[in-house]
Structure 1
């Protein structure tokens, strides 16, 4: 079994950030984020642009999930990162099968799902950039950073 490499899985293979709002779910593809220890808690941190529809779901929920997939699902992740769920049920346009279990939104094909409780949120600001080259990534649509405490990790990791 191949070990989970956070840099590879998030930065190259991508992940889905998902949350539930009322009786609906939404998801988006992300390639920015990380994991670590903060405030004596095992945490993830993710970055979501304010205009993303999924942000409304993350803000409305106490929890969010990060789903990771084998490379064969890269096309689905690419699609889910480019199309908004505001206009259509974009998940239905893919082969992914969504599931909700005890408030956890995930996909049956995921090889790992990290279930997180939101514990912190902050808007990034240009004044905080020490390296001013970071500004190249923005057109006045600065990410919102969310920190989630890892509540549970569900694994079905068989990739080699």
Structure 2
């Protein structure tokens, strides 16, 4: 993987847009285009494939939220740095996106193996040159769902199945959207 860190390079590739200007359907972004969630510093970061979550408003601010297993290394880095990116890629990068979800960055060198080019945003977060949409977030809250808070049997059954061991516990991660970047047309 090639690394770049100059924000001037970043700004030659991406345009800033407001959260309201995101043209993708939220259900497509969340359900069909798997985001790559990245946290850490340019010197040490980790990415994972997201699968579920949303975008909306919380306390009158634009936010993202996602569910993450409590043992994810990326979650540990989000807690430490309190910022992260959610990056969305064109379809031709699906194999690389799935690769990022195939093993832990804690026990591997997957960030060196992935065939994506890291890039630093002007605010110091890490994403990838190949992304078509980057959402930067500041951590707002991490919470864990309580099965007693769910009223449908389907939701309770899902949580019961998902929480077979403590490592499987899911945490809900909420982040205020601080910047949105869209790839410039070539």
Q: Same fold (TM over 0.5)?
A: yes
Q: Does 1:138 align with 2:159?
A: no
* Paired residues of 1:112 and 1:157 also in contact (CA < 8 A): no
Instruction: Give the TM-score of the pair, scaled to structure 2.
Output: 0.78
Does residue 96 (structure 1) correspond to residue 120 (structure 2)? The answer is no
Match of residue 141, structure 2, among 82, 99, 120: 120
User: Is the Cα–Cα contact under 8 Å of residues 47 and 100 in structure 2 kept in the other structure?
Assistant: yes
Note the residue ranges of structure 2 that are not aligned, 5 or more in a row: 1-21
Q: How does 1:40-55 map to 2 (within 5 A)?
A: 40-55=60-75
Answer 1 or 2: which has greater strand percent. Answer: 1
- Partner SS, residue 87 of structure 1: coil
Cα distance in 2 for partners of 1:11, 1:49 equals 17
How big is the shift at 1:60?
A: 0.4
Q: Hey, what's the Cα distance between the residues in 1 that align with 2:41 and 2:182?
A: 25
Q: CA deviation at 1:88?
A: 2.0
1:70 alignment counterpart: 90
* TM superposition shift of 1:138: 3.4
Is the 1:18–1:27 Cα contact (8 Å) retained in structure 2? yes
Number of corresponding residues? 157
Aligned residues of 2:38 and 2:85 also touching (Cα < 8 A): yes
TM-score normalized with structure 1 length: 0.89
Map Cα deviations across residues 7-30 of structure 1 (whole Å, 9 max, x no partner).
112211200111115831001001
What is the alpha-carbon distance in structure 2 between the residues aligned to residue 99 and residue 126 of structure 1? 39
What corresponds to 1:25 in structure 2? 45
Point out where structure 1 has 5 or more consecutive residues left out of the alignment.
Answer: none
Q: 1-side partners of 2:98 and 2:117: how far apart?
A: 16
The structure number with the bigger radius of gyration is: 2
Which residue does the alignment assign to 1:37?
57
